[in-house]
Structure 1
Amino acid sequence: MQHSKAGAAMFMLNGVLQSLRTGIVPGNCNADNVDDEFKNNKYALYLSRTIQTAGIKAAMLSSFGFGQVGGEILVVHPDYLFATLQREQLEEYNNKLSKRNLKANRYWQDTLAGSYTFV
């Protein structure tokens, strides 16, 4: 059986997106016995418990596979993207987003009603 690198990366990305949305940094219950040499690094944080932050601006994740195959993703909070837009651009984006959401919600409702298949 093979390990799905894409699936693992998507699982991690989902967690990053949830953290950006909520400001919650999940702890690692297995981080209860971190070596003192690692604890002395002021830029690394080893949480054994979940913490609530005032907000997360960005996150980075890495996914490495066999044969030196890997990738890194930098995810920036959408507020920073929206802050770069002019008012007209933001309104245009919001209009497109509303239409897209209506279409997606309608498809989802039709799928639940049996009119369409999910995929």
Structure 2
Amino acid sequence: MLTLYGISNCDTVRKAKKWLDAHQVDYRFHDFRKDGLTAADIESWQSQLGLEKLINKRGTTWRQLSNAEREMAENPNSQATELLLQYPALIKRPLLEGSLPEGSSICEVGFNETLYNDLINGVTHE
């Protein structure tokens, strides 16, 4: 089953949810703020995606960080994990993770209709 992670009032998350619903994809929604996150979640995403892809540097949360916090966020260590736990809005969203019906696993950030369509239909991307 797929899990869509994000923040419920995020426009991009809403687009992804609408697309998944329209294509009758079985998923559950996990709100970063309401449902929380664990260090294990973040470390798993960090190992699969890398910090550069995982961190949202375009949002207001990033702009409000101190220079020291930004440095922490860019270094793959436990401090980056702690910072993402403290500021979950730093994580790019939506984050789609889970297993597809044919058995493959996915972990992707952002919403791109073509990519979602390819993922759901078993097309791989490098």
TM-score under structure 1 normalisation?
A: 0.22
Q: Which has the higher contact order (CA 8 A, sep 6+)?
A: 2
Larger Cα-atom Rg: 1
